Structure 1
Amino acid sequence: MTTAEEATQAGRPSLFRRSWGVVASNASVVLLWPRLQLAVKAGLAAGIAFAIAPLMPGSAANYPYYAPLGALVVMYENVAGSMRQGVQTLVGLAIGIGLAFVLFLRGSPTPLTVALVMALGVVLAGLPKLGAGRDWIPTAALLVLLVGGHDPDQFSFGYLLQMGAGVSVGILVNLLVFPPLHFRAAELSIAELRLALARQLSDMAKALKESWPPEHKEWSRQSDTLESSVRSVRLAVEKADASRRANPRRRLHPRDIERDYRNLRDLERMTFHVQDVTQVLSDVIWATDTPFVVPDEYVEPLADAMFAVGDVLRALQEEEPERQSELSEEAVTAVKSLMARLGAAEVETDAPSAVESILLSLHRMLRVARAFAKQA
Structure 2
Amino acid sequence: MAGEVSGRRTRPARTGRMARVRRWWGRALGSEGHERSTVLLIAKGTLAATIAWVISYHLLHAQSPAFAPFSAVLIMQVTVYQSLLQSSRYVGAVVAGVAVQAALGFLVGPDVPAFALVALVALTIGRWPGLGSQGSQVATAAFFAFSTYVSATSALDKITQLGQIILLVLIGCGIGVLVNVTVLPPLRYRSAEHGIRTLAHALCDLVSDIYPALRERGLDEERTGRWRARAEQTGELVTQARTGLRMARESLHYNPRRLFRRGRAHTYFEGYAAVLEALERTLRQVAALTRSLDKWSADEDRYRYGAFLASYADFLESLSWITRVFADLDEDRLGEQTSQLHQLADEAQNYRRGLAEQAERDDLPLTDPGRPYGVLVIEAARLMEEFQYTCDVLQHHVER
- Look up the equivalent residue of 2:378 and give its one-letter code: L
Contact 1:284–1:294 (8 Å) recurs in 2: no
Point out the more displaced range, 248-257 or 175-184.
248-257
Cα distance in 1 for residues equivalent to 2:44 and 2:199: 31
Label 1:28 to 1:322 Cα distance change in 2 as closer, same or farther (>3 A).
closer
Deviation at 1:34, TM superposition (A): 1.2
The CA deviation string for residues 158-191 of structure 1, in whole angstroms up to 9 with x for no partner, is 2111111010000000000000100022213212
Contact 2:292–2:372 (8 Å) recurs in 1: yes
Cα distance in 1 for residues equivalent to 2:164 and 2:209: 64
Any unmatched runs of 5+ in structure 2?
1-26, 153-157, 330-335, 396-400
Contact 2:296–2:371 (8 Å) recurs in 1: no
Contact 2:181–2:255 (8 Å) recurs in 1: yes
Contact 2:105–2:114 (8 Å) recurs in 1: no
2:344 matched to which residue of 1? 327
- Look up the equivalent residue of 1:359 and give its one-letter code: V
- Matched position secondary structure for 2:296: helix
Is 1:196 the counterpart of 2:202? The answer is: yes
The CA deviation string for residues 346-368 of structure 1, in whole angstroms up to 9 with x for no partner, is 53996622233333333233223
2:34 matched to which residue of 1? 31
The CA deviation string for residues 324-366 of structure 1, in whole angstroms up to 9 with x for no partner, is 3343223222223323443561539966222333333332332
Percent of aligned positions with the same letter in both sequences? 23
What RMSD, in angstroms, separates the aligned Cα atoms of the two structures?
A: 3.0
Q: Which of 211, 214, 218 is the equivalent residue of 2:218?
A: 211
Is 1:63 the counterpart of 2:64? The answer is: yes
- Look up the equivalent residue of 1:142 and give its one-letter code: F
Deviation at 1:129, TM superposition (A): 2.1
For 1:65-104, list aligned pairs within 5 A.
65-104=66-105
Cα distance in 2 for residues equivalent to 1:262 and 1:349: 34
Deviation at 1:245, TM superposition (A): 0.5
Deviation at 1:230, TM superposition (A): 1.0
1:309 matched to which residue of 2? 319
Any unmatched runs of 5+ in structure 1?
1-24, 286-290
1:259 matched to which residue of 2? 271
Deviation at 1:259, TM superposition (A): 1.6
Contact 1:71–1:167 (8 Å) recurs in 2: yes
2:45 matched to which residue of 1? 42
Is 1:272 the counterpart of 2:284? The answer is: yes
- Matched position secondary structure for 1:171: helix
Cα distance in 2 for residues equivalent to 1:82 and 1:346: 62
What count of residue pairs does the alignment treat as equivalent? 345
Label 1:144 to 1:202 Cα distance change in 2 as closer, same or farther (>3 A).
same
Cα distance in 1 for residues equivalent to 2:344 and 2:55: 63
Contact 1:294–1:355 (8 Å) recurs in 2: no
Q: Which of 326, 332, 357 is the equivalent residue of 2:375?
A: 357
Deviation at 1:282, TM superposition (A): 3.1
Deviation at 1:237, TM superposition (A): 0.6
Label 1:293 to 1:218 Cα distance change in 2 as closer, same or farther (>3 A).
same
Contact 1:292–1:353 (8 Å) recurs in 2: no
- Look up the equivalent residue of 1:179 and give its one-letter code: P
- Matched position secondary structure for 1:106: helix
Contact 1:49–1:166 (8 Å) recurs in 2: yes
Deviation at 1:269, TM superposition (A): 1.3
Q: Which of 158, 162, 174 is the equivalent residue of 1:168?
A: 174
